[in-house]
Amino acid sequence: MKRLRYDAVIIGGGAAGMAAALELDTSGFSCAIIEREDHLGGILMQCIHNGFGLHEFSEELTGPEFAERFIERVTKSKIEVYLNATVTGFTAGASAAGQDAACKELFCVSPAGVMQIRSRAVVLAMGCRERNRGNVRIPGSRPAGVYTAGFAQRLVNIEGFIPGREAVIIGSGDIGLIMARRMTWVGCKVKAVVEIMPYPAGLTRNIVQCLRDFGIPLYLSSMTTSIFGNDRVEGVEVSPMENGVVIPEKRFRIDCDTVLLSVGLVPENELSRAAGVELNGATGGPAADSSLMTNIDGVFACGNVLHVHDLVDWVTEESRRAGRYAAEWLQGRRPESQIRVKTGSNVRYVNPLRINPRRENQVYLRSLVVKNDAVLELRLDKRLIRSVKHKHVQPSEMINLKIDPKDFGGLNTGFDSCLEFSIN
Residue 59 has pLDDT above 70, yes or no: yes
User: How many C-beta atoms surround the C-beta of residue 124 within 10 A?
Assistant: 33
HEC string for the chain: CEEEEEEEEEECCCHHHHHHHHHHHHCCCCEEEECCCCCCCHHHHHCCCEEECCCCCCCCEEHHHHHHHHHHHHHHCCCEEECCCEEEEEECCCCCCCCCCCCEEEEEEECCEEEEEEEEEEEECCCEEECCHHHHCCCECCCECEEEHHHHHHHHHCCCCCCCCEEEEECCCHHHHHHHHHHHHCCCEEEEEECCCCCCCCCHHHHHHHHHHHCCCEECCEEEEEEEECCEEEEEEEEEEECCEECHHHCEEEECCEEEECCCEEECCHHHHHCCCCECCCCCCECCCCCCECCCCCEEECHHHCCCCCCHHHHHHHHHHHHHHHHHHHCCCCCCCCEEEEECCCEEEEECCEECCCCCEEEEEEECCCEEEEEEEEEECCEEEEEEEEEEECCCCCEEEEECHHHHCCCCCCCCCEEEEEEC
User: At residue 415, does pLDDT exceed 90?
Assistant: no
For residue 95, name the pLDDT band (cuts at 50, 70, 90). Answer: very low
Q: What is the pLDDT of residue 337?
A: 81
Percent of the chain with pLDDT over 70: 97
Task: Give yes or no for residue 96 having a pLDDT over 60.
Answer: no
Percent of the chain at pLDDT exceeding 90? 85
pLDDT tens-digit series, residues 349-408: 999 999 999 889 999 999 999 999 999 999 999 999 999 999 999 998 999 999 999 998
What's the pLDDT score for residue 226? Answer: 96
Q: Does 236 score more than 90 pLDDT?
A: yes
Question: Which CATH number fits the domain 132-263, given the four candidates 3.30.300.30, 3.50.50.60, 3.50.70.10, 3.80.30.20?
Answer: 3.50.50.60
pLDDT score at 401: 95
C-alpha–C-alpha distance, residues 194 and 240, integer Å: 10
Cβ neighbours of residue 223 closer than 8 Å, sequence gap 6 or more: 194, 196, 238, 239, 241, 246
Q: What angle do CA 109, 115, 118 make, to 5 degrees?
A: 130
Q: Per-residue pLDDT tens for 137-171? A: 899 889 999 999 999 999 999 999 999 999 999 99
Residues forming beta bridges with residue 258, ordered by sequence position:
167
Position 137 scores a pLDDT of: 86
Q: How many CB atoms lie within 10 A of CB 114?
A: 12
Amino acid at position 365, single letter:
L
As annotated, the residues of the chain forming the CATH 3.50.50.60 domain(s) are 2-129+266-330, 132-263
Does the pLDDT of residue 409 top 90, yes or no?
no
Question: Average pLDDT, whole number, for the chain?
Answer: 93
Model pLDDT, residue 102: 66
Per residue in 238-267, is it b (16+ CB within 10 Å) or e — as a string?
A: bbbbeeeeeeeeeeeebebbbbbbbbbbbb
Q: In the CATH scheme, what is the homologous superfamily, with its name and number, of domain 2-129+266-330?
A: FAD/NAD(P)-binding domain (3.50.50.60)
**What pLDDT was estimated at residue 29?**
97
pLDDT in the model for residue 103 = 85
Mean pLDDT for the stretch of residues 24-37: 97
Output the pLDDT for position 93.
58
- Confidence (pLDDT) at 135: 85
pLDDT score, position 101: 52
Q: Please determine, for residue 411, whether its predicted confidence score (pLDDT) is greater than 50.
A: yes
Distance, in Å, from the CA atom of 189 to the CA atom of 183, rounded to the nearest integer, reads 7
Choice among 95-99, 109-113, 173-177, 287-291 with the minimum mean pLDDT? 95-99
| pLDDT tier for residue 90 given thresholds of 50, 70 and 90 | very high
pLDDT tens across 284-336, in order?
Answer: 999 999 999 999 999 999 999 999 998 999 999 999 999 999 999 999 988 77
Average pLDDT over residues 243-259: 95
**Mean pLDDT throughout 330-353?**
92
Give the per-residue pLDDT at 97. 41
Task: For residue 410, name the pLDDT band (cuts at 50, 70, 90).
Answer: confident
